[in-house]
Structure 1
Amino acid sequence: MTMSIAAHPDRLLPADGGTRAIARELLADVQELPIISPHGHVPADMIADDAAFEDPTALLITPDHYVTRLLHSAGVPLSDLGVGGKRVDSRTAWQRFAAAWPLFDGTASGYWLRSEFEHVFGLPASLVDSLPHGGADSVYDALTSKLSDPGFRPRNLFKEFSIEVLATTDDPLDSLEAHRRLAQDPSFSGRVLPTFRPDAYLTPSDPQWKVRVERLMAEASGGVGGFDGYLRALENRRHYFIEHGAVSADHGVRTPLTLQLDKTDAARLFDSALKGEATHAEQQAFEAHMLYQMARMSVEDGLVMTVHPGSYRNHHEPTFRQFGPDTGHDIPFAINYTESIRPVLQDFGTAKDFHLVLFTLDETVFSRELAPLAGFYPSVFVGAPWWFLDAPDAMLRFRSAVTETAGFSRTSGFIDDTRAFCSIPARHDASRRVEAAFLARLVSEHRISEDRAHELIIDIVDRAPRRVFKL
């Protein structure tokens, strides 16, 4: 009998037998280590409430834009998948997915889903393989049965997945009540940390920016008005997050452009933006200045600053109007870090205890800009492959691109960046296998010793995220 792809012990390891044997030993060092997830999008209230998952479609298809975008490209309407809150029959949507299951062969999402089906839900490989061949209902029923199991709840899975730390992504005005409940619950031993995500309050081009800023200042400025009150409100909310366990602030910006304005010019742009009178160029300048201000605040309060640029959000306007944001049509574009981030690095690049983690969707930036920056500035760390790049071959390319310039110590550790809670163990397992494969190649080429490789893989998987994110 042919062994299941998802169960094969050598999945993602090198094809060459000698190198594969080294990789197996390296993987054994880290395979059972706890999961450190310092950046992701799983909602804290899902874990705090510990409610049963709704149904297979709502859990595995509708919220996962990796899945829905590929189905859409094959002609499946997003409305048939429940995207954007559209009402849909769960079983019918599942059948649409099952018919298209072969389309996921070779994709990272197909790899994760197959691993979830077998390792998280306990489905036999033969049942998974039957998805496009009349097995849709059988798989759906098996998953539904599993979801009804009282033991298959978020908190128990958190423990079964061996998650030690899970960071969420949160609005600056979030009460963080779910985080408080988890932190005060003696029956819950994990750490669920909030992350300060201020994008919606820093971008004057957003139609809702003025309303959000007025609410922010009303709730957190301490009665101080104008630009000074705006800065104070952001600082106060950052401190509130720190009091609730936050270790980082995340910035999902269009570009990494930063700009230091003098206080008078910044206040003028702020007032102009509130009045709706700022030009497009002025809005961009204000946003760049505020990214600089976020770095200044991180130097002062210690929050790790992560920057996720380079996505053209809501690329297809008709889809955005019908289904809203985060529905699969955010498309990467080329960016420039060397010039854009320079104002921040001029003032804070050598600041004590400032950690700046730079991500990209543009692979050319890894070797051309990020590795050289991280290879000089003590504050800079290269963020792991993210979004479209968090796939096995792309992760190998990342290691090759970054390591020769910056070494292993200047990278963040794996970032799963996911809303799909049940995919977390599959994603981390894939990363660990890729790291083992890369290190094994260096050993077999006599570029590092085998003893050193065993030290490095533990550092990459476990110590790096703890060190970079101050855990």
Structure 2
Amino acid sequence: MKTFITDDFLLQSDVARELYHDHAKQQPIFDYHCHLPPDQIAGNRHFENLYRIWLEGDHYKWRAMRANGVAERFCTGDASDREKFDAYARTVPRTLRNPLYHWTHLELLRYFRIDDLLDESSAGSIWQTANERLASTGVHELLTSSRVAVLCTTDDPTDSLEHHRKIREDGALATRVYPTFRPDKALAVDQALAFNAWADKLSSASGVDCGNLNGFLEALKQRHDYFHSMGGRLSDHGLNALDAEDCTEREAARIFDAVRSGKQVFPQEAADFRSFVMLFFGHLDAEKGWTKQLHLGALRNNNSRLLRALGPDTGFDSIGDQPQAAALARYLDRLDQDDRLPKTVIYNLNPADNYLFGTMIGNFQDGTVPGKIQFGSGWWFLDQKEAMEWQLNSLSNLGLLSRFVGMLTDSRSFLSYPRHEYFRRILCNLIGKDVVNGELPRDMRLLGKMVRDICFSNARDYFGLEFGEAAAAARAA
């Protein structure tokens, strides 16, 4: 059977169709947060087969396969690439109404011009056709064909950024690739062995002795400076919830010394230390004019048996229900009190917090930058149609949708860029529905500008990163 992905997929009115086809569709992509591996970009990796580019490391698909009764050897185990692909093909018909059904067929159509539905009967021909096209297609071509103007990876402070340097020096890729400073391991004093090993690694990377707190902070600043020299202008923190306790430098130093001596600290001490260091990170970002990202609300590694067997990031995380409001408000306020609150994007993973986050951003807009504090796009479990609409509606009701910096991939797959198309179709359909209902004017100049801004221009202006040729052409237009 042929695909249901038509030109007007998800576009349920004439207004939605005009907004998408005339305003959204051709906008470049500004992917300000993803987990694509820089070494594969630098090396212009060519993937051996469809499994390698599509299923390797994709915990979304693994979760669906497990739910369908697929044994672990076909997800993360020792089955062959083709066997794993076939297991996913058998699962796809069972994903009806799951976003994977949409994403799967969008990606097959956009990258391989395959318009067949994937199932057990079509798996062989799709495998062969996709592999033939992959043989002559590298990462650079995939990014170019997706019109990716800017791509920000996610990088540990100890990373050498050698692959970013190679990308920049080679100049072969039209897409501009930037590092993002992700210092989560600097907060993990509740895991003494891992923290000390990472602090030693930080010392080696920075050339600064991390034997005491002052050295540790100086090493982090040195690496922050280095990321800046390599074009980085964003930081990111993945936290269950923020900590915003009162902690002096003296107390933070005592906790640091205890951990460095191999002692385990109490939970309250760990929260105090995280609070102190997160303020330090906020000051670093503000001083350099960076944008801070806060990803809040995950509950990670819930299946201890499979965590031991497979490790983290293998599909056993979920939405958490931690309280977010009070600590988030205190954290933003403490930075604001010293006039050191950087541009900030906050992402929630619990949809119950949509209105919380939508109102929180309004507390700290200060007129210096349009949309200085952003309610980020639907993230992880919320990057599907229904939850995207929830986020868009919450932001519309409580803030300025027209200033929204739009979609990102948050993905480890080079085939994930149709998620931007998915978002754009949902956005245009939502606006079109309001026009049809008489709730917005049928002014295509006004509406078209808002759509173009959300799809690309707002992110371009907000993050202040140089962009590639595709974006330059769009700006000129």
- Match for residue 228 of structure 1? 214
**Cα deviation code 1:158-215 (max 9, x no counterpart):** 1111110011111111111111111112332220111111112221123411110122
Please identify runs of 4+ aligned residues in structure 1 that moved more than 4 A: none
- Match for residue 166 of structure 1? 151
**Cα deviation code 1:262-306 (max 9, x no counterpart):** 111111111122232311221122123322222122112222110
In the superposition, relative to structure 1, how do residues 382 and 410 fare at CA in structure 2: closer, same or farther (>3 Å)? farther
After TM superposition, list the pairs within 5 Å mapping 1:7-406 onto structure 2. 8-14=6-12, 20-27=13-20, 28-81=22-75, 83=76, 86-125=77-116, 128-129=117-118, 131-132=119-120, 134-148=121-135, 150=136, 152-206=137-191, 207-220=193-206, 222-223=208-209, 225-275=211-261, 276-349=263-336, 351=339, 354-367=342-355, 369-378=356-365, 379-406=372-399
| Number of equivalent positions | 453
Q: Distance in 2 between matches of 1:69 and 1:468?
A: 35
Cα deviation for residue 326 of structure 1 reads 0.6
Q: Which amino acid aligns with 2:464?
A: K
Q: Which amino acid aligns with 1:173?
A: T
CA contact (8 A) 1:39 1:168 kept: yes
Gap runs ≥5 in structure 1: 15-19
Cα deviation for residue 352 of structure 1 reads 6.7
CA contact (8 A) 2:153 2:179 kept: yes
In the superposition, relative to structure 1, how do residues 69 and 224 fare at CA in structure 2: closer, same or farther (>3 Å)? closer
Equivalent residue of 2:180, what SS?
coil
Cα deviation for residue 429 of structure 1 reads 0.3
- Match for residue 438 of structure 1? 430
**Cα deviation code 1:416-442 (max 9, x no counterpart):** 101111121x10001111111121123
Q: Distance in 1 between matches of 2:449 and 2:103?
A: 27
Equivalent residue of 2:46, what SS?
coil
**Cα deviation code 1:396-450 (max 9, x no counterpart):** 11111221111214533112101111121x1000111111112112323333332
Equivalent residue of 1:5, what SS?
coil
CA contact (8 A) 1:51 1:154 kept: yes
Gap runs ≥5 in structure 2: 366-371, 466-477
TM-score by length of 1: 0.92
CA contact (8 A) 1:357 1:383 kept: yes
- Match for residue 440 of structure 2? 448
Moved more, 281-290 or 92-101: 281-290
Using CA pairs below 8 Å that are at least 6 residues apart, which structure has the higher relative contact order? 2
Q: Percent identity?
A: 26
2:453 pairs, out of 445, 448, 459, with 459
What is the root-mean-square deviation in Å for CA atoms of aligned residues?
A: 1.9
Q: Does 1:4 align with 2:9?
A: no
TM-score by length of 2: 0.91
**Cα deviation code 1:322-378 (max 9, x no counterpart):** 1111111111112333211223222323737721110011112111x1111212312
Equivalent residue of 1:240, what SS?
helix
Q: Which amino acid aligns with 2:453?
A: D
